[in-house]
Amino acid sequence: DLVDVAHATVLVRVDFNVPLQEGSIADDTRIRAALPTIESILERGGRVVLMSHLGRPGGKGHEPEFSLEPAATRLAELLGRPVAFPSNDCTDDDARRAVAGMADGDVVLLENLRFHPGEKKGDASFAGILVAGVDAYCNDAFGTAHRSDASMVATPTAMADRPCVAGRLLERELRYLGETIAAPERPFVAILGGAKVSDKLKTIRRLAGVVDTLVVGGAMAFTLLKAKGCAVGRSLVESDMVEEAGRMIEEVAASSTTLLLPSDFVCGAEPKAGTTTSISGTEIPDDMMGLDIGPESAERFAETVRAARTVVWNGPMGLFEVAPFDQGTRTVAEALAAATEAGGTTIVGGGDTASAVQGMGFGERVSHVSTGGGASLTMLEGGPMPAVEALDAT
């Protein structure tokens, strides 16, 4: 809102990296998340040029299965106005003519940026084509704010003479994940889950001594338990990380942070329903694998969360996509909702955790559901956010 966009063409980097099933959008959460920024520009008399990536195409030209055309169709339905999708190439003559011919209130969505190798390489010449004929740049793609892609860094760099600002979604993400974590109300609890401890090693080290309690669930807990000498059966373990996990446990123990690990599990002979058994204690039989935290652990974790004033959660507690291995994640989600209702601030990291919380109906019952899993982890780690640093200081 700080930039006068009347009669201006605003290039907006959005995150329309949505899941597709047979050419249709399976979840439009990320498109809906961009609406406040898009509508703000339109209501103030501006013209909106949107750019995004989708999936992981090879960077060698158009690949139909990664086209953003379904996103254009869905966005038009949500906005109640046409969204032009001019071409199969975000930089060709048809795309440039569509941008040059826009009138106030028009919306154009360019094709997948990653069809060009220059996007992932952060190429300045590719960025130069994208910024031709636009008056301002707006970054509203938190999900890729930790990356140095051309549309995230080279583009605002190429527009040093024009306004480059954060959109509504990016501002909200930075406020929750930045300001809240920098000055949390206590008790401050972090919950980490997911498959690999290697993905969250930096996060754990950064949070040691920062949070009051660090709760670890999901498959990553088995690498830590193995380091403690527990029997984990056929559970997922990163063997090359066991020694490092042991050192990390010692580091957390030497800090002011309490580490909570699971003490019971829901196990199966394989990761599917029908082979389920409950294991109390941390000795899992050789022929079984842990697929969810057990009821005792879930309640212990939930009790800690309900008493917290600030909670950050990144990573599910088990194989939540397959019942009954969703119960641990559900119990933690219920506790997050209770903490929110009691006046606490609760933040859910993106990716699988966001999918689980939204799918279980808790999305509206927590303070904030992030749109970016990797980006939210980077912020928790205190890592660089080059795309944010490239914007104008406000």
The rounded distance, in Å, linking the Cα atoms of 98 and 124 is 22
Q: Among 194, 268, 315, 351, which one carries the catalytic annotation?
A: 351
The residues, any chain, with a CB within 8 Å of residue 77's CB and separated by 6 or more, are none
Residue 118 is a catalytic residue: no
Q: Among 196, 206, 234, 365, which one carries the catalytic annotation?
A: 196
Which pair of structure tokens corresponds to residue 326? 């969703």
Nearest by Cα to 332 from 363, 290, 304, 291: 304
The rounded distance, in Å, linking the Cα atoms of 147 and 375 is 8
Cα–Cα distances in Å, from 237 out to 61, 243, 263, 287, 289?
Answer: 39, 12, 17, 15, 10
The DSSP symbol for 36 reads: H
Q: Among 105, 128, 363, 374, which one carries the catalytic annotation?
A: 374
Residue 309 is a catalytic residue: no
69-79 and 29-43 helices, crossing angle to 10°: 60
Residue 374 is a catalytic residue: yes
Q: Among 30, 168, 226, 306, which one carries the catalytic annotation?
A: 30
- Angle of CA points 72, 75, 77, to nearest 5°: 115
- Angle of CA points 352, 358, 362, to nearest 5°: 125
Give the up-direction half-sphere exposure of residue 366: CA atoms within 13 A in the CB hemisphere. 28
Residue 361 is a catalytic residue: no
Report whether 251 contacts 208 (CB < 8 A). yes
* Catalytic center residues: 30, 196, 351, 374
